[in-house]
Amino acid sequence: MKTIGVLGLQGAVQEHLKQIEALGMNGLIVKKPEQMNEIDGLIIPGGESTAIKNLIVRYGFLAPLRDFSQKGKPILGTCAGMVLLAKEITDTDESHLGLMDIKVKRNAYGRQRDSFEVDLEVKGIEDVFPSVFIRAPYIEAVGGNVEVLATYEDKIVAARQGNLMVSSFHPELTADTRFINLFAELVDAPAMAPVAP
Amino acid sequence: MEKLIGSETVKRGMAQMQKGGVIMDVVNAEQAKIAEASGAVAVMALERVPSDIRAAGGVARMADPRIVEEVLNAVSIPVMAKARIGHIVEARVLEAMGVDYIDESEVLTPADEEFHLLKSDYTVPFVCGCRDLGEASRRIGEGAAMLRTKGEPGTGNIVEAVRHMRKVQAQVRKVVHMNDDELMTEAKLLGAPYEVLKQIRAEGKLPVVNFAAGGVATPADAALMMELGADGVFVGSGVFKSENPEKFASAIVQATTYYNDYELIGKLSKELGSAMKGIDISKLSAEERMQERGW
């Protein structure tokens, strides 16, 4: 059975783990870089992107995370995870992991009082998906081979590029495991070519 | 579902995103930036940190909106602010300013000695202090989306936060293992809403995130609270009343993430300079104990 890790530095770690286990897969909280060798796919959860980035750098996760992606192993980033995976972040020269060809605007919908829930159509999921946006980012621009999975009011809120998948919303805050299942299918699929750095 | 703002999921979810993190008290933009750079997941904008509130005496109110605004503009992480217990207008003003979370806090002088805010009425989420499961459940019943231990703020003494965290955890464990027919009497004994206890029993845990607060002064204190089951840590006076705030802030963040890596915590605690000077809580008079505020 394949194992999906959840980057356990900060944020909604247990919530993701619960969904992975509900799908009947192995889940592992990853707190040390060497644990990256024990997993087949990784979820970077929602949390505070600046806090998670800080710990990624300080605890030597930067190279192992990039390596993992270069091997074509799947990574899912939700909310803060999307910000961390993006090659470009609006209004700053700085990117974090810089892996996926997307340009992401942080806190794009405003402050917490503007956080919302809405049902969205997501490619690969039948019917609608309950989508929870919390101080969420959205994608302003995508590179050539990025597949858009969901939009809300004309903004891209979920996408996939090869082994990388992102969402602005928090599937882990719902009881609906279908979005995580899309990622699990990616983890189960044969290895794929990595996204070019 | 049409777009829905201020829902329970969105309010509680915001606190879930803070898990495993440290929320720091700050009194200006400069401190807020230090907190953000050290890896804090949020800042609490205040006019004075709790230890200075103790020293100043008098009535402690919501911070000057200029300070709150200054902090809101300084950082991209969430900004929290405190309103007095039961002070509807302070809370509404903070909500209108765009504060991300309001702490209905016993650190400030209560505005109402009978009723807390009806927090479910607001779009902005609230965090409240608790010493036991009765208090925790009443706050959840009023709509709090996050809890924290009360501890004894501004003392640099962890003993009360430990007491409150252990108490809540033990009472949750008891409720989770109760039979259906025992739950109503437990609700009566705790002074807790029955529906909230039913939810705790069904989920096997509190329905909202519960942080530690009130006395965290060192990296080891923060790690201790995580070890006892806290979802994260508030540090009030501990950071900016220490000798070296940057180092302290960063060490507390790391100790919170790696709370069971004792070798690391030892390393982090070296050459930190001195922590804030603490207070022996038994020397405080009943009126000086902030944890007694709230009902």
- A163-177 residue pLDDT tens: 999 999 999 999 999
Q: Determine how many CB atoms are found less than 10 A away from the CB of residue A67.
A: 12
Question: Catalytic: which of B82, B119, B167, B241?
Answer: B82
| Contact residues on chain B for A35, CB-CB shorter than 8 A | none
Tokens at residue A59, please?
């605890």
Separation of first and last alpha carbons in chain B = 37
Residue type, B132: D
The minimum CA-CA distance between B69 and chain A, rounded to whole Å, is 13
Structure confidence at residue A95 (pLDDT) = 84
Q: How far apart are CA B47 and CA A119, in angstroms?
A: 41
Q: Which residues pair with B147 in a beta bridge?
A: B128, B210
Q: Over the stretch A121-159, which tens digit does the pLDDT of each residue have?
A: 999 999 999 999 999 999 999 998 999 999 999 999 999
Find the closest chain A residue to B232 by CA distance.
A10
Contact predicate A90/A138, CB 8 Å = no
ipTM higher than the 0.90 cut? yes
A 122-151 near B (Cβ less than 8 A): 128, 130, 132-135
Output the DSSP codes for chain A.
--EEEEE-SSSSHHHHHHHHHHTT-EEEEE-SGGGGGG-SEEEE-SS-HHHHHHHHHHTT-HHHHHHHHHTT--EEEETHHHHHHEEEETT-S--SS--EEEEEETTTT-SGGG-EEEEEE-TTSSSEEEEEESS--EEEEE-TTPEEEEEETTEEEEEEETTEEEESS-GGGSS--HHHHHHHHHHHSPP-PPPP-
Find the closest chain B residue to A45 by CA distance.
B17
Interface check A54 vs B, CB under 8 A: yes
Model confidence at B287, in pLDDT bands (50, 70, 90)?
confident
Model confidence at A1, in pLDDT bands (50, 70, 90)?
confident
Mean pLDDT of chain B: 95
Interface check A50 vs B, CB under 8 A: yes
Q: How far apart are CA A101 and CA A85, in angstroms?
A: 9
Which of B4, B9, B69 to mutate to test binding with chain A, by most A CBs within 10 Å of its CB? B9
Q: Which residue is listed with tokens 């009765």?
A: B134
| Contact residues on chain A for B16, CB-CB shorter than 8 A | 11-12, 15, 46, 173
Tokens at residue B143, please?
């709509």
Structure confidence at residue B46 (pLDDT) = 94
Q: How far apart are CA B262 and CA B67, in angstroms?
A: 38
Contact predicate B236/B279, CB 8 Å = no
Find the closest chain A residue to B40 by CA distance.
A51
Which of B8, B16, B127, B247 to mutate to test binding with chain A, by most A CBs within 10 Å of its CB? B16
Tokens at residue A2, please?
């394949």
CB contact under 8 A, B42 and A48: yes
Q: Over the stretch B241-286, which tens digit does the pLDDT of each residue have?
A: 888 999 999 999 999 999 999 999 999 999 888 888 888 888 888 8
Q: Is residue B82 annotated as part of the catalytic site, yes or no?
A: yes
Order the strands of the B22-26 sheet from edge to edge.
B209-211, B146-149, B126-130, B101-105, B79-84, B42-45, B22-26, B233-235
- Give the contacts of A13 (CB within 8 A, at least 6 positions apart): A6, A7, A29, A45, B19, B20
| Contact residues on chain B for A132, CB-CB shorter than 8 A | 9-10, 13
CB contact under 8 A, A12 and B16: yes
Question: Annotated catalytic sites of A, by residue?
Answer: 79, 170, 172
CB contact under 8 A, B257 and A9: yes
Q: How far apart are CA A110 and CA B17, in angstroms?
A: 16
Interface check B185 vs A, CB under 8 A: no
Structure confidence at residue B37 (pLDDT) = 96
Q: Over the stretch B166-217, which tens digit does the pLDDT of each residue have?
A: 999 999 999 999 999 999 999 999 999 999 999 999 999 999 999 999 999 9
Mean pLDDT of chain A: 95
Structure confidence at residue A195 (pLDDT) = 81
**Which of A50, A116, A170 is nearest residue B3 as measured by Cβ atoms?**
A116
